[in-house]
Amino acid sequence: MNISRRDFNKLVVSGIAGASLGIFGAAGDAYAAKNRVVVIGGGFGGATAAKYLKKLDPSLSVTLVEPKAAYITCPFSNWVFAGLKTIGEITQTYAVLAARYGVEVVADTAVSIDAARSMVTLGSGKVLNYDRLIVSPGIDFKWGAIPGYSQSISETKMPHAFQAGPQTELLNKQLHAMKNGGTVLICPPANPFRCPPGPYERASLIAFYLRDQKPKSKIVILDPKDKFSKQALFRKGWDRLYPGMIEWRGAAAGGKVQSVDAAAMTVTTELDVVKGDVINVIPPQRAGKIAVDAGLTDASGWCPINPVSFESTVHTGIHVIGDACIAGAMPKSGFAASSQGKLAAAAIVRLLRGKEPAQPSLVNTCYSLLGPGYGVSVAGVYKLSAEGIVEIPGSGGLTPIDASDDQLNQEALFARGWYNNIVNDIWG
Amino acid sequence: MPSKLKILLAVCVVSSGVFSASMDAFAARNKATQPAKVAETDPRGEVLALSCAGCHGTDGKSSGIIPSVYGKTPDYIETALKDFKSGVRYSTVMGRHAKGYSDEEIHLIAQYFGTIWGKNK
């Protein structure tokens, strides 16, 4: 069902009213001044928004605040475990955004947001004023959620590897050091979390490495869920490519992790204590710290937004995109974040001109690799209904379960094409 | 309208409560300006088409195995999308995407990509 014109207009009007606070509310000559948009976070959402703001309206002043000089993408970081990508090949920089698109890239951390005065304060003490702010902080982990687990444990003994970079390298190093015949434990969180197929693609590509190098080893997935993303496709692929190597224990089989012990290298589930040689714990998550500190989150730990423009329903003039926001039926994926970044950019350009944003249309496309020539995908097309953001019935969905080997091989090739194009669309 | 969205709307309206007077003004202004879209890019076509760039590259310029949309005519793009949608043309993923768009939306997407290379020289 489509959203009615009347409901859509109500959502739009709330956005326009917000705009009048920033621009029309000021003196007349402010109208002629350059509109300033600040973007916090240079990942899939924020970098896309910064680029597309400048692409759609080169007259805007766009400042991207990102402390890291380079961004290592979570998508394709599992490929590193299979030896199919190096960290260097999944590292993106901001040079093109600055040089070609005229985005001002500030290598600093946003430490606080003053929504009432439309100001962001940076770690250096510098203050940025904005007419519109985009917050794209990604995820933070709920460190206290699993007894025995902590940030320091994640950095030494049990990496999460769900923010790519040193964490990916640590897990990879542990896999390489493991003996043939070792056990790898992967402990995904409950929903919602970043990249729903990620832990299962990870199991597949670690299995690819182990089958080749350490074939007596096995992988056990200890999962608090009863089902997972692309489940039938993964399980069929595991049976075909890595028979007997990957064991998935869901909630019904007591897969829920109760606690971990880093000294003993064990995980305690509802049923038993499981020993691992390599233990990958992916803890529960919430919106990135700056979103929490700015009061943009609700009780769920994520940020509620107006789906027409991704403007926060807590603070006007602030848009939240990517993993941190609550985007209805959309998964927390890099592609979804980028799609939301474009939508927010297009909406902001129109709002700053006092015009109505277009009806939203959003897309997700995620590939997962089970082996070098074995890819599967999920696609989704989303629109606004009276329920919020919903998937269009009859569209999207998964690679067919009976897909031919040719099709699975094509999907693996398209996965590579997907990565090249999406990173160029964002950082290139 | 379900209560969830009502609450959302209420929050939006409350947060911008002082400006409720501007709402009518906006509605009136909007009515007068709505049909004027000859010179500028159709905003709906733009929003629909921006999503495609995630896989097909910025402005539809692909650098790898995924086909470029850039440089194709509106007719070519419209026919391709409709054939993916109906299943007449084989695809791995495009059929699943194309089913998410009405024929009118497919037309807008085709117009956007089919004319962008004229505007973008």
Per domain, the residue ranges of chain A are 5-67+107-140+286-358, 148-283
Contacting A residues, span 62-101, partner chain B, CB-CB under 8 Å: none
**Neighboring chain A residues of B48 at a CB cutoff of 8 Å:** 361
pLDDT for position A282: 98
> Please, what sign has the CA dihedral across residues A206, A87, A49, A311?
positive
A283 token code pair? 């803890």
Across the interface, whether the CB atoms of A396 and B96 are under 8 A apart is answered yes
**Pick among B4, B7, B8, B85 to test the A interface (most A CBs inside 10 A):** B8
CB A351 within 8 A of CB A133: no
Across the interface, whether the CB atoms of A416 and B64 are under 8 A apart is answered yes
B12 against A131, higher pLDDT: A131
Please give the helix or strand (H or E) that residue A20 lies within, else none: helix A5-22
pLDDT at A178 over 70: yes
A5-67+107-140+286-358, CATH topology level: FAD/NAD(P)-binding domain (3.50.50)
Residue A401 near chain B (CB below 8 Å): no
The tens digit of pLDDT for each residue in A20-32 reads 444 443 433 444 4
With H, G, I as helix, E, B as strand and everything else as coil, classify residue A417.
helix
Across the interface, whether the CB atoms of B54 and A363 are under 8 A apart is answered yes
ipTM of the complex: 0.92
Please count the residue pairs, one from chain A and one from chain B, whose beta carbons lie less than 8 angstroms apart. Answer: 171
pLDDT for position A5: 77
Q: How far is A388 from chain B (nearest CA, A)?
A: 7
Residue B44 near chain A (CB below 8 Å): yes
Residues above pLDDT 70, as percent of chain A: 95
Q: Which of A343, A356, A424 sits opposite B63 (nearest CB)?
A: A424
pLDDT for position B29: 38
Whole-angstrom Cα distance, residue A338 to residue B50? 10
Average pLDDT over residues A306-316: 98
pLDDT at A18 over 70: no
Please give the helix or strand (H or E) that residue A347 lies within, else none: helix A334-352
pLDDT band at A16 (very low <50, low <70, confident <90, very high): low
CB B108 within 8 A of CB B48: yes
B20 against A376, higher pLDDT: A376
pLDDT for position B117: 82
Across the interface, whether the CB atoms of A379 and B97 are under 8 A apart is answered yes
CB A260 within 8 A of CB A267: yes
Kindly report which listed range (A64-73, A75-84, B20-29, B61-70) carries the lowest average pLDDT score: B20-29
Please give the helix or strand (H or E) that residue A14 lies within, else none: helix A5-22
Nearest residue on chain B to A6, judged by CA atoms? B1
With H, G, I as helix, E, B as strand and everything else as coil, classify residue A213.
helix
pLDDT at A312 over 70: yes
The tally of CA atoms less than 13 A away on the side-chain side of residue A394 is 8
Across the interface, whether the CB atoms of B44 and A359 are under 8 A apart is answered yes
pLDDT for position A31: 47
The tens digit of pLDDT for each residue in A344-361 reads 999 999 999 999 999 999
Per residue, the 3-state secondary structure of chain B, as one string, reads CCHHHHHHHHHHHHHCHHHHHHHHHHHHHHHHHCCCCCCCCCHHHHHHHHCCHHHHCHHHCCCCCCCCCCCCCHHHHHHHHHHHHHCCCCCCCHHHHHCCCCHHHHHHHHHHHHHHHHHCC
Which CATH architecture describes the domain B40-53+67-121? Orthogonal Bundle (1.10)
- Residue A233's identity, in one-letter code, is L
What is the DSSP-derived secondary structure letter of residue A308?
Answer: T
Looking at domain A148-283, its CATH superfamily turns out to be FAD/NAD(P)-binding domain (3.50.50.60)
Taking Cα atoms as reference points, which of A340, A321, A263 lies closest to residue B51?
A340
Per the prediction, chain A carries an average pLDDT of: 95
**Neighboring chain A residues of B2 at a CB cutoff of 8 Å:** 386-387
pLDDT at A132 over 70: yes
- Residue B20's identity, in one-letter code, is S
Domain boundaries, chain B: 40-53+67-121
Q: How far is B79 from chain A (nearest CA, A)?
A: 18
pLDDT for position A374: 98
The set of residues, in sequence order, having a beta carbon less than 8 Å from that of A223 and lying 6+ positions away, is: A187, A188, A199, A248, A249, A250, A251, A255, A256
Residue B68 near chain A (CB below 8 Å): no
**Neighboring chain B residues of A416 at a CB cutoff of 8 Å:** 64-65
In this chain, the answer to whether the domains covering A5-67+107-140+286-358 and A148-283 adopt an identical fold is yes
Which regions of A57-158 does DSSP assign to beta strands (E)? 61-65, 70-72, 91-93, 104-106, 110-114, 119-122, 127-129, 132-135, 139-141
The tens digit of pLDDT for each residue in A251-285 reads 999 999 999 999 999 999 999 999 999 999 999 99
Q: Which of B44, B92, B100 sits opposite A358 (nearest CB)?
A: B44
Measure CA B6 to chain center. 26
Whole-angstrom Cα distance, residue A177 to residue A173? 6
pLDDT at A9 over 80: no
Residues above pLDDT 90, as percent of chain A: 92
A266 token code pair? 């064990």
Contacting B residues, span 11-40, partner chain A, CB-CB under 8 Å: 11-13, 15-16, 19-20, 22-23, 26-27, 29-30, 33
Across the interface, whether the CB atoms of A13 and B26 are under 8 A apart is answered yes
CB B68 within 8 A of CB B61: yes
Burial of B79 (0-12, 13-18, 19+ CB in 10 A): middle
The set of residues, in sequence order, having a beta carbon less than 8 Å from that of A198 and lying 6+ positions away, is: A74, A78, A162, A282
